[in-house]
Chains A and B, each alone.
Chain A
Amino acid sequence: MNKIKTKKTAEELGVKKVFLESGIEVNPIYTAEDIENSSIKHEIPGQYPFTRGIHPSMYRNKPFTIRQYAGFGSPEETNERFQFLIKNGQTGLNVAFDLPTQCGLDSDDPRAFGEVGRVGMSIDTLEDFEIAFKNIDLDKITVSLTINGTAIIAIAMYIAMAEKNGYNISNLRGTAQNDILKEFIGRGTWIFPVDKSVKLVVDTIEYCAQHVPKYSPVSVCGYHIRESGANPIQEMAYAFCIAKAYSDGALSRGISIDDFASRLSFNFDIYGNLFEQVAKFRGGRRLWAKIIREEYGAKKESSSWLRMIAGGGGGGLTKEQPLNNIIRSSYYALISALSGTQTMALCSYDEAYTIPTEHSAEISLRTMQIMIHEMGICDTVDPLGGSYYVEALTDRFEKEIKEEMKTVEKWNGIINAVATGKIQESVSKQAYEREMGIQNGTVPKVGVNIFVREEESKEVEFHPYNQKAADKQIEKLKRIKASRNNELVKQKLETIRKDAIDDKNLMPSIIEAVKEYATVGEIVQVMKDVYGEFKEPIFF
């Protein structure tokens, strides 16, 4: 039989060339030929390498989890909110912390002035955790701690609080963000040098694998890396390199891959080209499964699952014509569902300029609910599976992410690439190019550089800063410092110092110290004495 070659490229068809943000050229036409050599033909959802989803029946069995973000100023307000949510049937909450807590400063530190309770809950001692979780059934509510630089202390406090309240920690569930490597690339709440920071993450993985096996100690964030300017290939590649760095650390302590890999999860970003994002997730999921099984030799099936939260990225939303963001977020939600996400969160349409109102938060929730209940998104697994275009692009993404990971190896690995600023330099250059593209119109953005209409500029709003609440937090800290056993606190802090010098896992000594109400700032200071502080390479 004579094979007639189909004209498929832009050149052959005489149309303009199209490139994705990742630099991949897209053909106007894809055919069966393009996936002739693809492994997809033999792949089934719920089976290795999980390109089509980590579970056999995916959303038909249970739709993705909806988890919206929220932040509250004081432990007292957080507790009120918890009680309210439980009464309304919610089972999970993300806790945001204020910047002093994230950077390891107590509320009375001069550098914390004006920041106490501003962007989240303020934590000085275990008492704050005890207040925040008072009368909360930790068996029923799963708590996600959005904290990185001082995550080891926050996790220690959570465990100490649970133990004090009589819970068996071997059944304790919950998650922490605890991805310090991405903090060096974007967001910036690092404290210690890069290698010591990674050591602390590994401490939490080791401790949890041994004592709190149902706790998920790390959520690796491609999200913030992408928001800092990385393209979709780099987002996945850097996140995988980071997850590998933590895994290598855990393995070097003699823990088996199957004891922790299934507790690692990922947090990814969605904005930009629909098909590019779907291929990113599907190709990434296949590659991650292969890495964990082939490179690390995992035996347990769930070890090689790429479990993820993927939602609408703030980077795609605009201050101009803000109602358009509802439409954008609907597409982001669709992308997330078509990509087989486990958990979804969307930004509110007004988040680019103001505090989301109850109304705008409700629209985000309804966006996801309409998709689940009206659009048939849960009926069949991986509905884009088998599309010539999506499969060809999925294969390409798997290959490109793998290549990009090799680039990081050329930079002597992710830890070195971050410590020397290599990655920061490359993503910030891309962020500039993208911003210039939007400002000069080569990157089209509706309402910003095309279909622009004169409109009143939207007023940016913040929660008013509550100085009284900050003063109360400082008074509480003073009272605790006056009433605790200071001699014992000193001893416990010295144990942390000794364990740090001896390069031991710090979780046990930090748990003991927080039980005596040692403060976040005191513990961080001891660690700084031993480890030193990160010296930021100045790159832009």
Chain B
Amino acid sequence: MKVLLSKPGLDGHDVGVKVLAHGLIDAGFEVVYTGLRKTIEEIVDAAIKNKVDIIGMSILSGTHLVLAKKMNEVMQQKKLNIPWFVGGNIPAKDIEKLKQLGAHNAFPTGSKIADVVNYFNTIKVNV
């Protein structure tokens, strides 16, 4: 099970995404990290190139809806079906909006690493 963790947009806060990377590795996942300031196209290309099973995007600047909309467009254009997630400063009321935009789920700041791991494991069963 391979996960791509990414930082779309201009936000440079990467403590959370790196903490999650460590947590996923300890839980037996393979992790590829894009680094900062990637466009959605670059993230999707990295997902294809690395043949990942899951894409995670970390966004803390409040731009999550703009970026999720773009993600949805690019995924549809490329006819891809990789489950993707958003993590970071996400208001509870936006989780449903993100799902409508095609996100599998969203994990706001304060989510437990174990919860993310468990959720990703249920996807593993489904895949």
Contact = CB atoms under 8 A, between A and B. Distances in A.
Interface of A: 99-100, 102-103, 105, 111-115, 118-119, 183, 186-189, 227-229, 319-320, 352, 428-429, 431-432, 435-436, 439, 457, 459-463, 465, 536, 538, 540
Contact of A103 (B13, B31, B37, B62): B37
A320 B109 CA distance: 12
A540 B10 contact: no
A320 B93 CA distance: 18
A227 B16 CA distance: 11
A435 B66 CA distance: 29
B114 interface: yes
Contacts of B9: 99, 114-115
A115 B10 CA distance: 8
Interface in B95-114: 108-110, 112-114
A435 B63 CA distance: 25
A164 B64 CA distance: 40
Nearest to B88: A460
A207 to B, nearest CB: 27
B22 A429 contact: yes
Nearest to B110: A319
A465 B22 contact: no
Nearest to A433: B22
A431 B91 contact: no
Contacts of A186: 13-15
B110 to A, nearest CB: 5
Interface of B: 9-15, 17-19, 21-23, 31, 33-37, 39, 61-63, 66-67, 89-93, 108-110, 112-114
Judged by DSSP, the binding face of B is loop
B62 A428 contact: no
A363 to B, nearest CB: 22
Contacts of B17: 540
B66 A114 contact: yes
Contacts of A100: 10
A102 B9 CA distance: 13
A343 B34 CA distance: 38
A432 B63 contact: no
A435 B113 contact: yes
A465 B22 CA distance: 33
Contacts of A229: 15
Given A99-B61, A112-B10, 12 more contacts: A114-B9, A114-B63, A115-B10, A183-B12, A186-B15, A187-B13, A188-B12, A428-B18, A428-B22, A432-B22, A439-B114, A540-B22
Given A459-B93, A461-B91, A540-B21, A115 B113 contact: no
Contacts of A429: 22
B15 A227 contact: yes
Q: Which of B18, B39, B61, B91 has the most CB of A within 10 A?
A: B18
Nearest to B91: A460
